[in-house]
Structure 1
Amino acid sequence: MSGLFKTIFGKLDCPNYKVVTSTADYEERLYEAARWTSTTIPDIERRSASSTGFRRLFKYISGHNEKNVKIPMTVPVITKVEPGDGPFCKTDFTVSFYAPYADQAEGTPKPSDPDVFNNSLPEMTAYVRTFSGYAKDEDWTKQAETLAKSLDDAGLKYHKDHYYTAGYNSPFKPINRHNEVWFIKSD
């Protein structure tokens, strides 16, 4: 599995994956099944939902959990984007923190906030497009559209009803940022 982000982002734990194929537009990655802690926010804007979700999850890892313990920060912060039916309809944004390696087998403590939950993602193949910069809502959408077009042009099957955004940097890091959009392979 890849140690790429362990090197780039220091000592932060991150999901394990293997690169299956790589093109100029995207990578195909096989991710191991993993535990996450998540919260879902219906909103019109990704930025607003991500901010609310991040605050909830940060409170959780800061000790607002059944054991009152601090949990180490990990990368990436992923957001599952499930678009609504129209341009001004609410979208469901599920913001998630990866559970640290030490908690992958046993799981992290139960959240105290009823809007925060522990969950697992199965082993999955993701088509991943990377880009840099301080991403705004339009950037995430444009990158997802570009990735979808590349996958469609290649004749690949993927879940079209949702995608993920993945951020790897603190909001206080203005340059050399690493962002990703993911579509999950379907049969």
Structure 2
Amino acid sequence: MKRGAKIAIGAAVAAAATWVGWGVYSSRTTAQVAYEVVGTANGVERRRYPALVTVETTAEDRSTAFRRLYRYITGANDGGTEIAMTAPVRTAGERMEMTAPLRTESAGSGVRMAFYLPASYAPETAPTPTEVGVSLTVEAPREIAVYQFSWYATGDRIKRATDHLLSTLEENGIRPTGKPFMMQYNAPWTPPFLRRHEVAVPIEP
């Protein structure tokens, strides 16, 4: 093998290793919303969540919604506070971090998207959004049923996961109390085999 080819292959291997290593690191270090697993059936988890503060928006598509929320965590708020999505940053004398997962659900012809804030924040202490269409909300304590999958969250994979979730609930006599939604835990550049996606639906406690 020629020396140039060896160098190119070595560079590709090093880049791939860096990509995977970064994906593992970011997945393990991102703060996540705490919950209690109260039951499992056929790969579906029943979880109990505490009250949670989110920053939320509704837009015509995922990209527009994400950009609005991203602007909020990068300073479009009354304190100009920056909140990192994948690692803590130091801002105004305190350390803050974005908490996984990202929540999305259908909203008419558009999409409703929310970022969860760390548990230390209450509505009165979280930075107030300054952009129209972005607001702080509170999710009351609730139980949800969740089915997890990996790789890219294509329409077909989401549909199969949702069908499995709903059929499992029906088989076990558990009634949904709302519409299914998506929860995603990784940055867009995370290797597909390291990605964590979940379809979820609120259920009767």
Determine if the TM-score, normalized by the shorter chain, exceeds 0.5. Answer: yes
> How much does 1:134 deviate?
1.1
| Aligned amino acid, residue 38 of structure 1 | E
Question: Do the aligned residues in 1 keep the contact of 2:49 with 2:141 (CA within 8 Å)?
Answer: yes
| Aligned amino acid, residue 166 of structure 2 | A
How far, CA to CA, are the matches of 2:44 and 2:27 in structure 1? 21
Residue number in structure 2 paired with 1:80 = 105
Residue number in structure 2 paired with 1:145 = 163
Residue number in structure 1 paired with 2:139 = 121
| Aligned amino acid, residue 59 of structure 1 | R
How far, CA to CA, are the matches of 2:204 and 2:125 in structure 1? 27
> SS at the partner of 2:70?
helix
For the pair shown, which has the larger CA radius of gyration, 1 or 2? 2
Matched, 1:165 2:190: no
Matched, 1:50 2:62: yes
Q: List alignment gaps of at least 5 residues for structure 2.
A: 1-24, 84-96
**Residues 123 and 25 of structure 1, relative CA distance in 2, 3 Å threshold:** same
How far, CA to CA, are the matches of 1:8 and 1:21 in structure 2? 28
| Aligned amino acid, residue 57 of structure 1 | L
- Which is richer in helix? 2
Poorly superposed stretches of 4+, deviation over 4 Å: none
Aligned-residue Cα RMSD (Å) equals 2.0
**Residues 52 and 125 of structure 1, relative CA distance in 2, 3 Å threshold:** same
TM-score normalized by structure 1?
0.81
Residue number in structure 2 paired with 1:132 = 150
- Is 176-185 or 107-116 further displaced after alignment? 107-116
Question: Do the aligned residues in 1 keep the contact of 2:53 with 2:119 (CA within 8 Å)?
Answer: no
How far, CA to CA, are the matches of 2:36 and 2:26 in structure 1? 16
| Aligned amino acid, residue 170 of structure 2 | D
Please point out which of 26, 40, 54 is paired with 2:58.
40
> SS at the partner of 2:39?
strand
> How much does 1:41 deviate?
2.0
Q: List alignment gaps of at least 5 residues for structure 1.
A: 1-6, 43-48, 85-89
How far, CA to CA, are the matches of 2:98 and 2:153 in structure 1? 21
How far, CA to CA, are the matches of 2:133 and 2:201 in structure 1? 25
Identity %: 28
Matched, 1:62 2:74: yes
TM-score normalized by structure 2?
0.74
> How much does 1:79 deviate?
0.8
Matched, 1:30 2:48: yes
> SS at the partner of 1:76?
strand
Number of residue pairs aligned between Structure 1 and Structure 2: 167
How far, CA to CA, are the matches of 1:58 and 1:141 in structure 2? 27
- Is 102-111 or 22-31 further displaced after alignment? 102-111
How far, CA to CA, are the matches of 1:70 and 1:172 in structure 2? 21
| Aligned amino acid, residue 203 of structure 2 | K
| Aligned amino acid, residue 67 of structure 1 | G
